[in-house]
Every structure is written in C-alpha cells, then in structure tokens.
Structure 1
Amino acid sequence: MNRTRTTLAAAVVTSALLGAVTTGVAQAQPPAPPLPPVLDLGSLSFGSLGIPAPDAPRLASVPNFRDVAGTGSGYVGHGGTHLNKGVLYRADTIVPDDADLAALERLGLAAVYDLRADDEVAEKPDRLPAGVEYVRIPILSGNIADMIDQIGSVEDSRNMMRDMNRAFVAGDAERAGFTRLLTELAQNDGRQVFHCTAGKDRTGWTSMLLLSLAGVDRATIVQDYLLTNEYNREWAAKTRAHIAATQGEEAAILFEPLLGVEDSYLQAGLDEIDARYGSVDAYLTEGLGLSTDTLDALRHKLLG
C-alpha cells in the first residue's frame, strides 16, 4: 500500500475527520435515527421528578452526540428502573458551529473527557462552552499505520476493528485509560461528556460498560452500539466519497468497514471479556481494578 493510502486510512481508522470532506460543505440537520424498539416510551416512572429529562439535542456539527441513557423514557436497567437522562453524554469530536455551541451551553456541562490520541486532537481540537473542564485521557495503543498496511481485503478491515475491541480488554494501556475515565465519571459532579473522534469505538465501548453496569440487557446495548451507523450516516457517506474520489473505488470498498460499526466488532471484545474474566462485572473489578465505591457511584448516577 502506498504512503498516501496508508496515511489516509490511518486517519479513517482512528476516526479522524478528513478536512477535505467537510471544508466548505454545509451540513444539514441529520434526520433523527429510529429509537430502539425495546424502549418503553409510555412509562414516566423514572427519576426523582417522575418524568424523563429532555432528549439530548441533535447537533448537526457533532452528529454522534447523544445521551448514554437513551431517548424517551430512557433505557431500562436493574429492577425495571429507567436510566437517568441528562447526566452522562457520549459524542464524536466536539467541534460545534455557533448554533450547536449554544445548544451545548444550555446543557450546563461540567466536564468533557477526550479519549483521542495526540495526532487526532491536533487535527481537530475541541471547541467547548466557557467554563467546561477539559480532560484528556488518550485510549489507543499500537501502530495504526502498521496495522493499516496489513489490510488487503474487506475482511481484514473488519478483523482490525475486532482486534481493536479485543485490545480494550487485553491491552494494559487501554485498560488503564478506561479505569481512569470511569473513575473520573464516578467522582466528578455535574453533566459530563466523553468522546473520541467518531464516537463509535472507544466511546462505544465505554457506553457498553456503563449500560452493562446499570443492568441494561445485552440486546439493547448492541442496538445502542449500532445507532452510531444512523447518527454518523452523513459523515460516513462523505468520508467514503472522499476516499473514492482521491484513492479510487477499490480503496473505498476496502476501508468502508472502518467507517461504521458492526455487531461483530463489539462481540469480539465481549468474547475477550468472557475468555479472560468470565463477565463484564469481573472485567470492571479485576481487569480495570475499579472499587465497589466507584461502581456504586456510577450506578447511582445512572439509576438514582
């Protein structure tokens, strides 16, 4: 693979937005994705007020911004309790236009946790409302360019994404990052956001852990994971078109699996958890070394 294709593909797999894709392109408000069918939108029995908090705003310039707890009444966790909305958010790179920045300001965010590597941050630094604490917790190891250079088929691309999710379980650096992130989320007050660049891999894994901790069923967790393909549909289409235009249709086909998520990506990480720890709960305590107090604090945020 030539150097240009390797550099471009590395940017894609780390979910770095390509400037050439978005520069000068007006982004329309994305259509609202379908809600997972497991949500009970008729129930209002959650939270201290007995009614659900408003849904997270749809942000055209931060398309994968959403509430960890879901939409409507929120996902259902332990004991049939709906998760608390308006507490923890997930996102892609936070580079809002003025209208979306104003929407973020209205949320009253306390902290943002950026999970991106140094080169990703240098490519597109976050733009945050005044007064929001910004915390860097890079979660990515290995030489992405070397991994990309081994891709010779569409299935190789899929296997790379599966290996990334396995590394969330097996990698020392990755586990250390998730340990710090979940500890910070538990200890800090106020509304918080965590994000990588496309909000799909590192962010998707974190969301899976939080939903599992809250007792959300596995089918709902997988559906939530796959919603990235709806929220990021326009970004993925534009990025694919850019690859095709600059590198050819063959390259676009080859790297297309890197632009979204598939259930097999998440399942690869879950299978690695089962093989090494036996359960997500054991991964949280033994693999990440999280204390009972930390886990209880996270459950309290999510369930009240």
Structure 2
Amino acid sequence: MESITKESQSIKMEKLGNARELGGYVSQDGRKVKRGLLLRSAKPVSASENDLNRLKNDFHLGTIIDFRMSYEREIEPNPQIEGVNDFWCPIIDEDQISANVNMTSGLKPMNTFERLKIAIDKGIVTDKMYVNFLSMEQGKKGYREFFRQLLALPEGKALLFHCTQGKDRTGLGAMLILSALDVDESTIMQDYMLTNIFNENLISREKQMLSQYNLSEEEMNKYLSVMDQVDSVYMQNAIDFLKKDYGSPKGYIIKELGLTEKDFEILKNKFLE
C-alpha cells in the first residue's frame, strides 16, 4: 500500500481547512478506496471561490454532510453550491450540552482561554468524548443519516463530510465508513492522526497562545484537543468501546445504524475498486 501522508490524501484546497480524502486506502480484500469520492474537511465557510468551483467541477460534489450543532451552522452557514445537496446530521445532543453549560458563553467559536476552560471543566471534552458521541441517540441518528446518504450517493458524485474543525465528529465518520469498507484499524488511525499534520500551523499558533497560561503538558494537550489537535487515545477509546459492546465497529453499524450485509456490499461496490 502507498504510504499515508499529507501529500497522498490532500485534495489541495486554497482555504478549506483539513481538506482531504479517503481515497487510496486498502480494504482487506485488496481493493482500494476510489479517489475523489469520499472527502472530509473542516467547515466549508472558509473555502475560497476557487475551492468551491473545484469541489463542484473537479470532484463533481453531489452531497455535503454537516455534523455540526445548530448554532454552529447559524453562525457559519455552509456556502450554497449549485446542484449540491446539503444534509444536516448533528451528532451532539444540544439539550444535554445546554444542561451543562450556557451555550452563549461556553461553546461559541472557541477562540478564548475562558471558553476552552468551560468546555474542559464541564466535562464536555474528555478522552471518552467519542464514546459519548457514539452512545447518544443523537449521535446514532446523525451517523445513521450519514450512511443513508452514502448509500444513496449517485454514481460519479463525491460526498464531503465535515464538522467545525473536521477532526472529531468527522474523524468518527471516517472511522465508521472505513470500517464498513473493511479498511484495517491501523490505516483508520493513521487517517485520524493526519489532522495534526494538516493543522500543523494552526496548532503551533495555538500552543503559543496557550503558553502564557503556565499549563502542564497534559493540560496543554487537553486544551489543544478542544481546538485543532487530535489525540490517538480519543479514537482508540471509541474503537475499544465498539469492540467491547458490539464485537467490532461493523457490529455497531449493523445494530445501531441499521445496515445490512447487502448495504455493505453496495458501499464496497460504490467506493472500492
């Protein structure tokens, strides 16, 4: 298999953050994920006009899946791209979050130390966060719709899935579809960790901003995990949970997301070559 690098996975956008694809990864039957069909990114509001034109014309984008919460969509709505369907598939239960933290002060775009601290102190961000996303009914509902749209995607069209930073809710989405395509766990983890390479400059600036607060290394990493960095422990906890409770990620997809063996075959025929 070709090595997994920023260069091998980038879709070469000008402004769209953490923009890459799942193409080239190898399934256990030896087939590869087709190039240019399964795209992942941060919020598209940052995309340049040229980025949007490339998504439409070069990738033949047919569907956008937005995993964000309602207020995130309201503040920074997705750009309208002619001929592209935009499906809202929220993963986080906003009522549950609201019970823990005032939304207006706690979870607006996280650009201040105080807001980060609220998210951490209230237990919204922990290394078991992904387990919560997968366990909550809202998370199951969102990922169920994600797979519905993957199954319905027209031939020759691409699908872009994203959240805000394109790393947590999006990272879980990538783990689930790659698991459905029988891509091995090591590849899934490498894909997840690519965020730290794509966001290298952002993370460097955020470290500088946080350095004034005299944080320990552990605290620093926790704050960065709210922002633009990923930590393998978060994803490993999620995968371990799926293995323990469902036998495997595919077991979860069958039991909680409702896919059948026939659906898996449709996905493989659509996305593997």
Q: TM-score, normalised by structure 2?
A: 0.79
Percent sequence identity is: 27
CA RMSD of aligned residues (A): 2.8
Query: How far apart in 1 are the matches of 2:119 and 2:151?
Result: 39
Please say if 1:301 is aligned against 2:273: no
- Matched AA of 2:223: F
Q: Deviations over 1:204-231 (max 9, x none)?
A: 1111111112221211111111001111
Stretch moving more, 227-236 or 263-272: 227-236
Instruction: Give aligned pairs, total.
Output: 245
Distance 1:193 1:303, change over 3 A: same
2:243, 2:28 → 1: CA distance?
A: 21
What residue number does 1:206 align with? 173
Deviation at 1:101, TM superposition (A): 2.3
Q: 1:238 to 1:209 in 2, by over 3 A?
A: same
Q: Where in structure 2 are the equivalents of 1:25-174 lying within 5 Å? A: 39=2, 57-69=11-23, 74-95=24-45, 96-106=47-57, 107-141=59-93, 142-143=96-97, 146=101, 149=118, 151=120, 160-174=125-139
Q: Deviations over 1:94-117 (max 9, x none)?
A: 121223223223222111111110
The CA deviation string for residues 173-208 of structure 1, in whole angstroms up to 9 with x for no partner, is: 111111111111111212111111111011111111
* TM-aligned CA deviation for residue 169 of structure 1: 2.8
8 A Cα contact 1:64 1:92, kept in partner? yes
Aligned 8 A contact 1:183 1:290 in 2? no
- Alpha-carbon distance in 2 for matches of 1:273, 1:175: 13
Shift in Å at residue 160 of structure 1? Answer: 2.8
Corresponding residue for residue 18 of structure 1? none
Q: Does 1:230 align with 2:180?
A: no
* Alignment pair present for 1:257 and 2:222: no
Q: Give the Cα–Cα distance (whole angstroms) in 2 for the partners of residues 93 and 240 of structure 1.
A: 22
Q: CA deviation at 1:261?
A: 0.9
Match of 1:281 in 2: 250
Gaps of 5+ in 1: 1-37, 42-53
Is residue 2:217 matched to residue 1:267? no
**SS of the residue aligned with 2:144?**
helix
- Using the TM superposition, give the Cα deviation of residue 249 of structure 1 relative to its aligned residue in structure 2, in angstroms: 5.3
